[in-house]
Amino acid sequence: MFNIENLTVRINDKYLIKGMTFTVPKGQITAIIGESGSGKSTTISALLGILPAQATLEGTIFFNGRDLIDLSRDERLALRKKHFFTIFQDATNSFSPTLKMKQQLYSLTALRLGHKNEAFLAKIKVILKDLNLSEDVLESYPFELSGGMLQRCMLACALYNEPDVLMADEPTSALDMLHQQEFIKRLKKLHTQLGTTVLLITHDLGVAASIADFILVMKNGEIVERGQVAEIFEQPKHLYTKRLVANHF
């Protein structure tokens, strides 16, 4: 699905990503793990085409055989609308504080897909119910909901959109243990039911181990190791991976 070759991102002389080459296979869950500042989130930004204006991007990003590097701003937007959905780390700040959730969920789902309001309400209510969220959420403002509820709202958007690729940037790091497990369960369900390709960014090895098919280990903007979950956790080769695994278990 994604074929990335020699991806380099720098701001002035500072390299955020150095010559990354990897693939995100269709219908699989790929996790990128590493410590803070290793370049995981920059990778997602590069794939989405939302890097800051001062960043320089080199290499190739092929999505379904099409190179995304030279796409115009509008073409990028169209691509994001049609194929991707991204869940970010900080659910509490992922929504505008002065708009009701109904309006915001509409913008993140039905507006992208061109659905009418009635169709949106009918579908989103079913999804919210499935995620153990009451319909009252729609009439609430973000500050009236907990972080866990807001992250489930983002997941509801992902379920509504049924994207080809779901990118999740540390989606569980702001959640407590109970909500983390619940979120992982829902993510797995989305992946199984719809066959969605998932690119998961996490520093939590437990999360990666519980859900991913394939793992990329990043350090200082480079991939230092890659492999199936079992390989990474049972026979890590790189010193950094060994340290990460040892620290986790």
Partner 1 sequence: MIAKWIGKRVIMGTIVLIIVSFLSFFIMHAAPGNPAAAYYGGNAQTLSTAEKERIEKAFGLDEPVLYQYGTWLREALQGNLGYSAKEGRPVAAILQERLPTTLQLVVLTLLIVAIASTWLGLLAGMKEGSIVDRVLSMFSIASSAIPPFWLGILFIMVFSVQLGWFPTSGMNDVRGEGGLVDRLYHIVLPLTVLVISHVGIFARFLQDSVKAENRSYYVQVAFANGVPEREIRTMVFRNAVIPYINYIGMTIPSFFGGSIVVETLFGWSGLGQLLVKSVMVKDFPVLMGAILIIGVVVVICLFMIDVLMICLNPRLRRGGIV
**Residue numbers at the binding site for partner 1 (CB under 8 A):** 48, 50, 53, 77-78, 80-82, 84-86, 88, 90, 93-100, 107-108, 111-112, 141, 143-144, 157
Q: How far apart are CB 166 and partner 1 at their closest, in Å?
A: 11
Backbone angles phi, psi at 13, to 5 degrees: -100, 0
Q: How far apart are CB 62 and partner 1 at their closest, in Å?
A: 20
Contact 237, 225 (CB under 8 A): yes
Cβ neighbours around 87 below 10 Å, total = 21
Instruction: Give CB contacts under 8 A, 24+ apart, made by 63-71.
Output: 63/1, 63/2, 63/3, 64/1
Q: How far apart are CB 233 and partner 1 at their closest, in Å?
A: 31
Q: How far apart are CB 91 and partner 1 at their closest, in Å?
A: 9
Q: Given the complex with partner 1, which of 81 and 123 has the nearer CB atom?
A: 81
Q: Given the complex with partner 1, which of 15 and 141 has the nearer CB atom?
A: 141
Tokens of 94: 């992922």
**b/e map of 182-221 (b: 16 or more CB within 10 Å)?**
bbbebbeebbeeeebbbbbbbbbbebbbbbbebbbbbbeb
Q: Given the complex with partner 1, which of 110 and 216 has the nearer CB atom?
A: 110
Q: Given the complex with partner 1, which of 13 and 74 has the nearer CB atom?
A: 74
Q: Given the complex with partner 1, which of 101 and 215 has the nearer CB atom?
A: 101
Q: How far apart are CB 212 and partner 1 at their closest, in Å?
A: 22
Q: Residue 58: beta bridge partners?
A: 8
Q: How many CA atoms lie within 13 A of 211 on its CB side?
A: 33
Q: Given the complex with partner 1, which of 84 and 233 has the nearer CB atom?
A: 84
d(Cα 179, Cα 159) in Å, to the nearest integer? 17
Q: How far apart are CB 187 and partner 1 at their closest, in Å?
A: 17
Per this entry, what is the length of the chain?
249
